[in-house]
Amino acid sequence: MKNVESKLHQKLNTFADWVIRITLINILMVICSLPILTIYPAFVAGYKLFNDYANKNEKPIIKTFFKYFIEDFSIKMQLGLMLALAIGVAIFNLTIYADIAALDPSPINTIGTYVMIIMVATVVFVLIYTLPLMITYPKTNLWLMMKFAFFLSGKYIFRTVLAVLIALIPVALMLTPITMLLFIFVGLSTPVVLYALLFKPVVKFIEELDRENA
């Protein structure tokens, strides 16, 4: 009976630890994302810290988060701005083609709309897979990193589809006043912790690739 109580107590402590981590890291991510331009570095910091925890590498939350936030900051800012610009341009072009196709549904306009949808999806795929790359190859040439991220999105296509669905969690939480309150506490950290768990094989593949080329 004591063994059962001990295991239950241990599981409750583990659950409580993860609740605290998810909530506190979410607040830190929200604070660091307030300047808007720093959203990507905040996401990378949260992802790297959750990756540590997923691999049972215990570290202090606040100190480690800010350490990860500022390291390679200029590289993360450049990559984040490039991807944000690419997504913005792709979405802008998509809306234009969609409006044109609505007025003139010719094959060319319809094809153009689908091409823009593919472009938006491609940038999103690349954005998601830069997370595991930023914690393994942070100083890689940015163009090479984006190409490698695109390769990974194809190699792990099922994880990619799941990752896109996970990315919709913050959007879903913004739909009602009640869930908006949840967004403050878990809206950003929830998809990031799920990515840390989902991409463990991806990180392992990248690290093994690095050892093979060493």
Over its C-alpha atoms, the chain yields an Rg (Å, rounded) of 20
62 CB contacts (<8 Å, ≥6 apart)?
24, 28
Domain boundaries, the chain: 2-32+39-213
Which amino acid, residue 148? Answer: F
pLDDT for 130 equals: 94
pLDDT number for residue 210: 65
Stretches where the chain sits below pLDDT 70 are: 1-9, 210-214
Structural contact between residues 101 and 110, judged by C-beta atoms closer than 8 angstroms: yes
pLDDT of residue 87: 85
- Residue 30: phi and psi, rounded to 5, are -60, -45
What local confidence, expressed as pLDDT, does residue 178 receive? 83
Output the pLDDT for position 3: 67
Residues 6 or more apart whose CB falls under 8 angstroms from that of 39 comprise 33, 80
Say how far apart CA 86 and CA 74 lie, in whole Å: 18
Q: How many CA atoms lie within 13 A of 167 on its CB side?
A: 13
Which of 154, 141, 137 is CA-nearest to residue 207? 137
Burial of 132 per CB tally in 10 Å (0-12, 13-18, 19+): buried
142, two tokens = 């940015």
Residue 153 near residue 129 (C-beta atoms within 8 A): yes
pTM: 0.88
